[in-house]
Structure 1
């Protein structure tokens, strides 16, 4: 689906910080059919970014939240108990950005629109469809993101007996919160996770393995669709989902 803009305080962009840009470019181009360039594109429209990572830091996906002012939002993040790791700074005419961490250390970006507002395609196969915070302390996450972006929580279940939380901004779902439990290693840090829609989960899982990646979780059959968490050859984690027919019907697709 073509996206023409993002409301403030909504996830708008995902960027991969790679130890090996050439290797990551080859993997994701083959994985999702993305066209390499200054950013990854699909059918000529931007779908994700890529840049060199920070030396000494693992390769990882970084999610961005749209804000009216990166400077003001950075102050709000700090006041909410988070940290500003870099910026705010201009990215040429494209926008103004800051790198931040929440109260538990999960890293995310702020994006103030210039000539570029974020992903131009989303919520269709081979594009980003969901962003979630993965944290250990639910109350700390709810407090931080409520103060930082005005998000509120709506509790539910992803499958029977497995709780899940949706972030709401003025009654609109903008993302999720997954609370780490015993299934996660004790040393797993809080983080943001990006999910890409695929048309066939099993085929995408097989493709990831063929390209040298790993399957960390799944595939799992859930009411919303078939889901898996993967890692690329550099260890960067991301999720994929093949949406169920019921969800697609609800979306009018």
Structure 2
């Protein structure tokens, strides 16, 4: 079982969560697709649900609520990047041309966070762990395995994440990976980046896409559609495995992949 036993290095995707109009329906959907367990949390946490897989935290689901006169957040999965100091990182984000959408705040004793957007418009979270480090299990069926930035300006995005998080981008020199870049913390790939696909609607904004590992991509897409979701890209074979891009019944997009065995 690939449990996470050490702290996430700064710049590494460490958590994902979803804001859904119908929180309980979202919990039920992902439980049926991935085998998660989860329940609406107590009032002091705003009802935030920490979903678990094999007893380890794997993702969060919250109710999409209007706050401070702002409309409710969109129904999307948000990728959080680890930071040792959320305040300093927020300053670096602003200095590098990003926008702070939700200022740094304490989340009880769990950690500190903010929500930001890069200069191309991709929204992400910043997480400074205190008592809660992030996902406790990754890279197995039902758990997060990859986070991918799809951007309208690759050069601007690369410069931003390098400046604000120290994330390096390196072209993937593999057949079938043209225009795909590995995002690295140190020498370790922690995510990917690519220009916006021509297959996406022309008004699609830059965004981070969360990938969940599954034992059988075709079977999982069947579960998604049976539970009221839809396939945006039916399962197909690619260099890293067999994947699909889907939406849940409330419109949140995510990817599933059956990874190729490690050589």
Contact map agreement 1:158 1:222 (CA 8 A) in 2: no
Structure 1 segments, 4+ long, off by >6 Å, are none
Q: d(CA) in 2 for partners of 1:157 and 1:60?
A: 31
Partner of 1:2: 3
Q: As a proportion of its length, which structure holds more strand?
A: 1
The 5 Å alignment of 1:119-130 reads 119-130=135-146
Shift of 1:119: 0.2
Instruction: Name the CA shift for 1:197/1:161 in 2 (closer, same or farther; >3 Å).
Output: closer
Q: d(CA) in 2 for partners of 1:236 and 1:196?
A: 13
Shift of 1:157: 6.0
- C-alpha distance after superposition, 1:198-219 (max 9, x if no partner): 0001100111000000100131
Specify every segment of 5 or more residues in structure 1 that has no aligned partner in the other structure, as ranges.
Answer: none
- C-alpha distance after superposition, 1:171-195 (max 9, x if no partner): 2111110211322211000011000
**What RMSD, in angstroms, separates the aligned Cα atoms of the two structures?**
1.4
Partner of 2:212: 196
Choose the corresponding residue for 1:49, options 60, 68, 73: 60
Choose the corresponding residue for 2:23, options 16, 21, 24: 21
Q: d(CA) in 1 for partners of 2:177 and 2:189?
A: 22
User: How many residues matched?
Assistant: 247
Q: Are 2:34 and 1:32 aligned?
A: yes
Q: d(CA) in 2 for partners of 1:186 and 1:212?
A: 26
Q: d(CA) in 2 for partners of 1:126 and 1:25?
A: 13
Contact map agreement 1:122 1:129 (CA 8 A) in 2: yes
Q: TM-score, normalised by structure 2?
A: 0.90
Instruction: Name the CA shift for 1:213/1:7 in 2 (closer, same or farther; >3 Å).
Output: same
Q: d(CA) in 2 for partners of 1:51 and 1:104?
A: 26
Q: d(CA) in 2 for partners of 1:101 and 1:223?
A: 29
Partner of 1:236: 252
Specify every segment of 5 or more residues in structure 2 that has no aligned partner in the other structure, as ranges.
Answer: 40-48
Q: d(CA) in 2 for partners of 1:100 and 1:64?
A: 10
Choose the corresponding residue for 1:136, options 152, 173, 179: 152
Q: d(CA) in 1 for partners of 2:172 and 2:81?
A: 23
Partner of 1:100: 116
Instruction: Name the CA shift for 1:169/1:218 in 2 (closer, same or farther; >3 Å).
Output: same
Partner of 1:164: 180
